[in-house]
Amino acid sequence: MPKAKWMSIPKVRESIANTSGEVVTASYLDIIKNSKINGYVTVNEEGAIARAQEIDKNGHDGVLAGVPIAIKDNISTKGIQTTCSSKILQGYVPPYNAHVIERLLAEGAVILGKTNMDEFAMGTSTESSHYGTTLNPWDLERVPGGSSGGSAAVVAAGEAPISLGSDTGGSVRCPAAFCGVVGLKPTYGGISRYGLISYANSLEQIGPIATNVSDIATIMDVIGGHDPRDSTSIKRNTAYRNSLVDDVSGLKIGVPDEYFAEGIDAGVEKAVWNAIHKFEDMGATWEKISMPHTKYALASYYIIAMSEASSNLARFDGTRYGLREEGENWHVMASKTRASGFGEEVKRRILIGTYALSAGYHDRYYLKALKVRTLVKQDFDKALSNVDVLMAPTMPAPAFKIGEKIQEVDVNIEYADERPSQQIKVVSSPLDLYLTDVNTVPVNLSGVPSISMPCGLVDGLPVGLQIIGKHFDESTIMRAAYSFEQNTDHLTKRPAGVE
């Protein structure tokens, strides 16, 4: 059995040159076959080998020629099942590629498969997947984070050198922090969302996950840029690799008090402050700042996200694709399909979003949430007008145990009519899980870029440092992250069983 390894893109290219693309791809597929973490929903075994053989035979001068990559299961891949880790899309095979997939294939990438995730990207732990929970490679009893848990876990476990995820409220940065890898949430509009199955249009953004900052920059150079099929896509220069200079002299860092609020794990707080002081040793300066509307961001985010979800997921009714239950008319068919096909968390968010948008409540909840969003964005604008970047913990604690935040309890339903009573399982205390997003959702509300990278360990589990920048200033946060990476020895630590 091949030994799992953390391999950068240059190292993978070197291995391909010494052997072949087929050999390298086959070695990753062998590692996946023997995996215990449940990181993939679909493994593209035949397609990946055929693609690698084609590149070996015909040659390819792309920057990713023969390099395997894993793709989150909510990004459309032509000819490869795309389920959003939901029963309702089981068996759905898209007839088209997302914009980012087109870009990756044009540069010679090989798609290994589709990674596990929280159903429809709704979650922070990958526990809501219809295909079972992904396990954290650092500790198999703990969650990998979410919703891109599979994408981060397979990179951390050496089952793919790089991957793509999507970030609606921290869904790239959270699993990157929990799994000890690097994850970037780009500026909203910096990467086309064409082909990303929507959860919350105004918040979500595709982002890369890798073992190092250099690979993040390489992927961003490939997938970034304008796409006319996405009206939110903006024309910008994408020469990110040119920004990777080991120099943070004169960098001004803002440290928001609100991101170190009561309840943060003491070990996490210490690791992040150690990282900030390391930047100080490297020539940067820091100052404490206040972002007063942060305390309202979580409530605002969940109202907006759930409202948009209630609209976006209305398309899944069993009529055109995916699961279809039988019924005497469309209404019964759609109702049965959704009841059977959607998981509990998805149903919960659709119901809350529908309620927030309903007559009499739209202004009270949704409109007020939009106003709070503006205030949060103004906090970022003000803070980043005086400093170059903000630094804070990505997550307030290390990865928690599976079942710790989401516990199923039995509920007995008694019907008023003649139907027999029904016992179902529901999730207790979902708010405990939502609260873990407190440091990530403000970034999505404001649309600014943010990168999470490992900055230490607490009880053997990774801690993520979050570096936040100005709109379309990924270059600065990547330069800061790269400099920190180049000057920090402990980042060479790996999960058990991975070299």
Catalytic residue among 147, 163, 243, 310: 147
CA distances from 437 to 11, 125, 442 (A): 34, 11, 9
Is 446 in the active site?
no
Catalytic residue among 15, 35, 72, 310: 72
Is 171 in the active site?
yes
What span, in angstroms and rounded, lies between the C-alpha atoms of 134 and 12?
Answer: 25
Burial of 201 (0-12, 13-18, 19+ CB in 10 A): middle
Residue type for position 387: V
- Contact by Cβ (8 Å): 443, 471: no
Other CB atoms within 10 Å distance of the CB of residue 95 = 8
Residue with tokens 């440290």: 255
Other CB atoms within 10 Å distance of the CB of residue 229 = 11
- Say if strands 450-458 and 461-468 run parallel, antiparallel, or are unpaired: antiparallel
Query: Nearest-CA neighbor of 374 among 468, 450, 446, 303?
Result: 446
- Contact by Cβ (8 Å): 154, 78: no
Catalytic residue among 128, 171, 214, 446: 171
- Contact by Cβ (8 Å): 153, 172: no
- Contact by Cβ (8 Å): 74, 196: yes
- Say if strands 252-256 and 285-289 run parallel, antiparallel, or are unpaired: parallel
Tell me which residues are annotated as active site.
72, 147, 171
